[in-house]
């Protein structure tokens, strides 16, 4: 029996990260991403790919992106990767 893998592509708004102090914005953006995935996928556990983390931190801690496009695969644990990669 084959296990169905559910895959979705989301444009995650990281606007809430900009409400944090400048020196905590990238940290907050990762938390906002994790909360978004929890709300939409109802996972048991979440694995964020290092490429997604690097994309958020690319411009430093003070200027994370306003939104990020990710692919979310559900194979037991939910894996979050960049949609373009």
Domains in the chain (CATH in brackets) are 13-82 (3.10.440.10)
The tokens describing 47, both together, are 């694995």
What's the confidence (pLDDT) of residue 1?
47
What's the confidence (pLDDT) of residue 66?
96
Low-confidence residues in the chain, pLDDT < 50: 1
What's the confidence (pLDDT) of residue 76?
80
What's the confidence (pLDDT) of residue 75?
83
Long-range contacts of 5-8 (CB under 8 A, 24+ apart): 5/73, 5/74, 5/75, 6/73, 6/74, 7/71, 7/72, 7/73, 7/74, 8/40, 8/41, 8/71, 8/72
């Amino acid at each position: 029996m084959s296990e169905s893998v559910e895959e979705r592509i989301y444009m995650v708004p990281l606007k809430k990260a900009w409400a944090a102090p400048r020196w905590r914005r990238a940290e907050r953006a990762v938390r906002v991403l994790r909360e978004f995935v929890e709300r939409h996928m109802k996972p048991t556990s979440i694995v964020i790919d290092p490429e997604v983390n690097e994309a958020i931190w690319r411009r430093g801690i003070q200027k994370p992106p306003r939104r990020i496009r990710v692919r979310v695969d559900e194979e037991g644990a939910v894996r979050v990767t960049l949609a373009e990669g």
